[in-house]
Amino acid sequence: MTDIKEKIKQLSKLLTTWEYEYYVNNKPTVSDEEYDITLRQLIDLEKKYPQFVTTDSPTQRVGGQASKQLAKHTHITKMMSLANAFSQEELRKFDTDVKKQLGKDTKEDIEYCVEPKIDGLSLSLIYKNGHLSIAATRGDGQTGENVTANVKTIKSVPLSIDVKDEIEIRGEVFLTKDDFKKINNSILDEEDRFANPRNAASGSLRQLDPKITAKRHLTMYCYQIPNHKDFKTQFDVIKFLKTNHFVTAKDIFLCRNINEVWKKIEYFSNNKNNFVFPIDGVVIKVNNLADYDKLGRTSKFPHWAIAYKFPPNFAKTTLLGIDATVGRTGRINYVAKLEPVLLDGSTIASATLHNADYILAKDIRIGDTVEIFKAGEIIPKVVGPILSLRKKDSVPFKPIEVCPICGSKLEKQENEIDQYCVNASCKAKLVRGIVHFASRECMNIEGLSDKIIEKFYVNNIVCSIADLYTLKDKKQEILSLDLHIKEKMFTKLINAIEKSKKEDLDHLIFALGIRHVGSITAKAIVKEFKNIDALMDASLQQLQNIHDIGDVVAQSIINFFKIDSNKQLIGKLKKFGVNCSAKENKTADTNSPYYQKVFCITGSFALPREEIKRILSRKYDCKFTNSVTKQTNYLIANDFSSSKFKKAKELNIPIITNSIWD
């Protein structure tokens, strides 16, 4: 029983972490399929062992909430989410339950309307006297967020219709796959990029400035009129929407029974990659609207509809071994070495295992027969072991303790799930570290692309960050490479490298790649330590005393400078003439109310966030923080729904919505 309780605890921890990464950070680390699979594993365990269910379990979560910062809108009819089906068996059970609730014989046919399940954001449109009056998000189902100004920029939403009575139209706001790619490609800072089209659509709809929403090219497909007294069927609703210039999905089918529904599901499954918008399943609705009241609903789901989620294709194979690799930030990634198996037309011999906590939570062991699938139909992942086939002599997995490349002791902070190698000279980290060092947000070496750096590394021209400052002596080697670098381009590159030597100290500190030290923290450090030597000699207490630097960040800085290779790197950079001291800001406006104040930023702007920080730092000698606290003087905001906006409102912190950097 202790093992079961611990497994439930570990699965809950995994799911809670994934939810935070998805909903708060907008940076999901696992696919929807993998989340669903793990959630169902937890549900099954909790059903068998209800004594171990806790109130904070992910299975007990009711749903989202409306942001307190956006104007609230109370829905006349509750906006429900849908229960999920993952198999034909579950779909047929839904059909049986509908017939039973309606008092029909099991052999009778129920007519269904079948629609693609668009992976977007649910929205309600209210028209009064023929004009769009209110547009609101679902929120918690009862209370949503008023986003009318932004929705009016969506070209597929009619601003007026030829209907004088008040009417509510519901649908899904989304980004096409191509528009999603364009948005992410336009965001230079990787940390500000959206994780998937749904997150991008949600973030775009919650902008303070409707002009930004307009640039995102959102689309809305409509599919429901909740007050349906004037309509007999759901298919009639779709016809009405089309007639009144609302955009609907083209592939909406009327099915006479559940057998026809299944055939349409197979159609959608076989063609899901051909749709220009992302779909993750199929929505099945009872077509006769008069049956809706009879069928009723739970507190979360209606009984008259269900969402069939596309299942990933699985394969079974033997786990031959577990390897550990090192990512660019030093994060340890565990990889399964598999007995080659055919999956979705390709032979799979390896799959991701994420991190040690994932392996422990799933109790995956070398020698196990495991199930694998393709997340997003691209990356193979291990679902878990088939315990009934486990060998008696199997040995539980033990995480590695040192870097598999350089042998340095790995770090894992409390409440984190990943292990890290903190050695800056680790070969596996060097290339990505050099790319980071040369990036615009760091030392701003123009013309030094990822491809060029990788080519330099392979040819032993650049093997460390310090080697960048020796490139002027390697002209012939560089010109001889197949990189199309000619005399003019080489000169331009060397000039950019020389120019980088004069960058501000905070850029150098950020460029070093110290874990947890971003550009904001680097600026805060420079306010206290005027040169790199002072920072290297700083005590833990001195670092902890810096505004917005806590125990974790302070310890990370201490650990970084304990490593001899990192100290040697600083020595080499000094030798090459790289600026290692803070510059006096003589251009700051000392009379401005913003002078030396603490700012926080939330939302997306025309300029990249790092560029905004760079301009304001020089203009006002101000500081920046990643979170809103009592010490924050101003919040620069372009996002009503963020937690930062909420906190600023609670603390009565002034909120700036205009471009003070112009």
Which value, in Å, is the radius of gyration of the alpha carbons in the chain?
Answer: 28
Is the pLDDT reported for residue 63 higher than 50?
no
Q: What is the pLDDT of residue 354?
A: 86
3-state DSSP: the chain helix, strand, coil percent, rounded to 5?
A: 40, 20, 40
Q: What is the DSSP string of 397-431?
A: -----B-TTT-PBPB--TT----B---TT-HHHHH
Q: What is the pLDDT of residue 25?
A: 45
Cβ(421)–Cβ(410) below 8 Å: yes
Number of neighbours of residue 189 by Cβ within 10 angstroms: 14
Number of neighbours of residue 326 by Cβ within 10 angstroms: 23
Instruction: Say which range, 46-55, 113-122, 181-190, 632-641, has the weakest mean pLDDT.
Output: 181-190
Residue 494 tokens read as: 């060397």
Cβ(252)–Cβ(114) below 8 Å: yes
Q: What is the pLDDT of residue 37?
A: 78
The per-residue pLDDT of the chain, averaged, comes to 84
Q: Which residue's entry shows tokens 């960048």?
A: 468
The span from the CA of 307 to the CA of 279, in Å, is 11
User: Domains of the chain, with CATH numbers?
Assistant: 1-61 (1.10.287.610), 72-309 (3.30.470.30), 313-405 (2.40.50.140), 427-575 (1.10.150.20), 598-656 (3.40.50.10190)
Cβ(444)–Cβ(500) below 8 Å: yes
Average pLDDT over residues 454-477: 91
Q: What is the pLDDT of residue 492?
A: 92
What would the pLDDT profile of 421-438 be if each residue is shown by its tens digit?
878 678 777 887 888 899
Between strands 279-286 and 112-118, the pairing is antiparallel
Coil, strand or helix at 383: strand
Q: What is the pLDDT of residue 67?
A: 40
What would the pLDDT profile of 560-573 be if each residue is shown by its tens digit?
999 888 999 999 99
Average pLDDT over residues 136-155: 86
Q: What is the pLDDT of residue 192?
A: 53
Average pLDDT over residues 39-57: 79
- Catalytic residue, chosen from 5, 13, 78, 117, is 117
Q: What is the pLDDT of residue 328?
A: 66
Most confident range (mean pLDDT) of 52-66, 114-128, 370-384, 618-632 is 114-128
What would the pLDDT profile of 212-260 be if each residue is shown by its tens digit?
777 778 899 999 999 777 899 999 999 999 988 899 998 999 999 999 9
Residue 222 tokens read as: 């409509």
What would the pLDDT profile of 180-207 be if each residue is shown by its tens digit?
887 777 664 444 566 677 777 777 777 6
Number of neighbours of residue 124 by Cβ within 10 angstroms: 23
Q: Which residue from 544, 503, 499 is spatially nearest to 525, judged by alpha carbons?
A: 544
Number of neighbours of residue 539 by Cβ within 10 angstroms: 10
Q: What are the residues whose beta carbons fall under 8 Å from the beta carbon of 457, sequence distance 6 or more?
A: 430, 431, 434, 463
The span from the CA of 320 to the CA of 323, in Å, is 10
Q: What is the pLDDT of residue 113?
A: 96
Percent above pLDDT 90 for the chain:
34
0.95 surpassed by pTM = no
117 part of the active site: yes
Q: What is the pLDDT of residue 66?
A: 38
What would the pLDDT profile of 367-401 be if each residue is shown by its tens digit?
999 999 875 445 688 989 999 999 999 999 999 99
Q: Which residue from 160, 292, 130, 283 is spatially nearest to 226, judged by alpha carbons?
A: 292
Higher pLDDT, 34 or 526: 526
Q: Which residue from 417, 425, 403 is spatially nearest to 323, judged by alpha carbons?
A: 403
Which letter does DSSP use for residue 355 in this model?
A: -
**Helices 88-101, 258-271: crossing angle, 10 deg rounding:** 150
**What's the number of CA atoms in the CB half-sphere (13 Å) around residue 274?**
7
Higher pLDDT, 509 or 328: 509
Cβ(276)–Cβ(51) below 8 Å: no
Is the pLDDT reported for residue 634 higher than 70?
yes
